[in-house]
């Protein structure tokens, strides 16, 4: 099932599923029972497909990306978080910070995993049983705050408002039996800047869930950003930073396209 979250013309928020080129409204809860209503969805505005309970992110998880940044291959997954204010809807703008200014804002296309059931100490071979579905994400990153002014933590540079566009479609896990075989891209103003495959992950999705759930409860609505392939703006010569007026699209095979314009805060 391909699920969207949207607000209707009265401003009420609903879920719907894609059905033959249009959307049918669903009743119920995302992590409970979702029931088709037979009603065509009155989609006034697309929203991020869920409000995450937490956004867990993995850094340097693609071999070629670790190489382009001249980082050594990590022994364990590198975990950081993005705060709730970062969530952004499809089509709404990524804001380049001006008050706490950044001049090095970068894009990162990522496969986002949505946990559907509470779990802890999950073994790799059972890990995908806890996945509700998958969506597309952009792990927008202010490299100056990430690298130079963040006290060695990535959280500052990764957690400005609008730095986590998500969606638009949440594809249930039955439609993606292997999340590590998907094409993944970033396109800026029509130019493809990242173009790779989730098969290049150093720690694949089941391994990430085993690691993240180790001695740690994962709740429904946990969103895991699984890292980005090579081709980020920081590693280009010259670097390619996002500018007001740019339009960024993240495309993930079997999920679709997430597009956001770029503006100044």
Residues that bind Mg ion (CB under 5 A): 108, 139, 228
Minimum distance from residue 105 beta carbon to Mg ion (Å): 13
Give least dist CB 99 to Mg ion, A: 24
Nearer to Mg ion among residue 108 and residue 200 (C-beta): 108
- CA–centroid distance for 239 within its chain: 23
Q: How far is the CB of 139 from Mg ion (least distance, A)?
A: 3
Q: Which is nearer to Mg ion, 41 or 94 (CB)?
A: 94
Least Å distance, CB 228 to Mg ion, is: 5
Given the complex with Mg ion, which of 95 and 228 has the nearer CB atom? 228
Query: HSE on the CB side for 20, CA within 13 Å?
Result: 3
Nearer to Mg ion, 86 or 89 (CB): 86
- CA gap 153, 129 in Å, rounded: 32
Q: Which is nearer to Mg ion, 16 or 141 (CB)?
A: 141
Q: How far is the CB of 174 from Mg ion (least distance, A)?
A: 26
Query: 159 or 228: whose CB is closer to Mg ion?
Result: 228
What the block records as the tokens of 139 is 């792990």
Bridge partner residues of 131 (DSSP) = 115
Count of alpha carbons within 13 angstroms of residue 70, beta-carbon side: 3
Maximal CA-CA distance, the chain: 53
Degrees to nearest 5, angle at CA 26 with 20 and 27: 165
Q: Rounded CA gap, 208 and 192, in Å?
A: 28
Give, rounded to a whole angstrom, the gap between the first and last alpha carbons of the chain: 36
| Cβ atoms 196, 184 nearer than 8 A | yes
Residue 172 burial (C-beta neighbours within 10 Å; 0-12, 13-18, 19+): middle
CB contact set of 76 (below 8 Å; sequence gap of 6+): 211
Residue nearest to Mg ion (CB): 139
Are the beta carbons of 140 and 154 closer than 8 angstroms?
A: no
Toward Mg ion, which CB reaches closer, 108 or 251? 108
Q: Which of 20, 242, 225, 235 is nearest to 136 (CA)?
A: 225
| Least distance from Mg ion to the Cβ atom of residue 19, Å | 33
Least CB distance from residue 32 to Mg ion, whole Å?
Answer: 30
């Amino acid at each position: 099932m391909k699920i969207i979250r949207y607000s209707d013309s009265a401003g009420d928020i609903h879920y719907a599923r894609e059905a033959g080129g249009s959307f049918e409204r669903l009743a119920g809860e995302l992590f409970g029972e979702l029931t088709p209503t037979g009603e065509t969805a009155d989609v006034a505005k697309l929203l991020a497909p869920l409000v995450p309970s937490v956004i867990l992110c993995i850094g340097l998880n693609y071999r070629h990306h670790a190489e382009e940044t001249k980082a050594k291959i990590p022994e364990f997954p590198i975990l950081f978080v993005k705060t709730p204010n970062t969530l952004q809807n499809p089509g709404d703008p990524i804001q380049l910070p001006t008050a706490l200014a950044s001049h090095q804002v970068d894009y990162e296309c990522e496969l986002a995993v949505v946990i559907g059931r509470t779990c802890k100490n999950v073994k790799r071979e059972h890990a995908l049983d806890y996945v509700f579905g998958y969506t597309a994400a952009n792990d927008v990153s202010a490299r100056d705050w990430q690298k130079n002014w963040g006290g060695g933590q990535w959280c500052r540079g990764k957690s400005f408002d609008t730095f986590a566009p998500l969606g638009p479609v949440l594809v249930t896990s039955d439609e993606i039996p292997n999340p590590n075989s998907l094409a993944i891209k970033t396109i800026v103003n029509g130019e493809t800047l990242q173009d790779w495959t989730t098969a290049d992950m150093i720690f694949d999705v089941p391994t990430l869930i085993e690691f993240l759930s180790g001695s740690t409860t994962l709740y429904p609505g946990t969103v895991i950003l699984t890292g980005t392939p090579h081709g980020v703006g920081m590693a280009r010569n010259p670097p390619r930073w996002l500018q007001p007026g740019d339009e960024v699209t993240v495309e993930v095979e079997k999920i679709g396209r997430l597009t956001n314009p770029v503006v100044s805060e």
